[in-house]
Amino acid sequence: MARSYRDITDAELAVMQVLWERGESSIRQICHVLYPGGGPSQYATVQKLLERLEAKDFVYRDRTQQVHLFRPALGREELIGRRLRSLAEQLCGGSLTPLLTHLVKTKALTPQERAELRALIEQSENTPRRRGSKG
């Protein structure tokens, strides 16, 4: 089993972005977005990227039709979470708290954002902590 833990690369991410926007798509359709007016070379590039994404379990491939269809196996939010966790792993001893703190301290908040944040914190108050989730 290939190491599925490897991250999404830049070119692969571009493909994912198209899938997130368009939903299930064929290679051809993705090509039209990424390389408008592109030829067979660009088509093959996208094909290869999707092959790698599938190997890493980041997209599902529907082979039932003649023309294969691809759809994301993880959403943008999940990827964000994954990257945040990886960042925390490397720089914060695995804890997400320093990231949260950093953002609140650093980022200039609009009054609206402040209100939304407060609301979210309220909300999380009612949500019981999930077992095993660590700080």
For a copy of itself, which stretch binds (CB under 8 A), given 29-37, 44-52, 57-65, 86-94?
86-94
> Residue 109 has which token pair?
């908040």
Residues in 1-30 at the binding interface with DNA, rule: CB under 7 A: 6-7, 9-12, 26-28
Amino acid residing at 125: E
Residues in 106-135 at the binding interface with DNA, rule: CB under 7 A: none
34, 15 contact by CB (below 8 A): yes
Give the Cα separation of 72 and 70 in Å (integer): 7
**Contact of residue 64 among a copy of itself, DNA, none (CB under 5-8 Å per partner type):** none
Check binding of 108 to a copy of itself (CB under 8 A).
yes
User: How many other CB atoms are found less than 10 A from the CB of residue 15?
Assistant: 26
For residue 70, the cross-strand partners are 25, 61
> Residue 118 has which token pair?
């407060």
Nearer to DNA, 79 or 96 (CB): 79
**Contact of residue 55 among DNA, a copy of itself, none (CB under 5-8 Å per partner type):** none
103, 114 contact by CB (below 8 A): no
Give the Cα separation of 64 and 59 in Å (integer): 15
Residues in 27-66 at the binding interface with a copy of itself, rule: CB under 8 A: none
* Residues forming the site for a copy of itself (CB under 8 A): 13, 76-77, 79-81, 83-84, 87, 90-92, 96-110, 113-114, 116-118, 120-121, 124-125, 127, 129-130, 133, 135
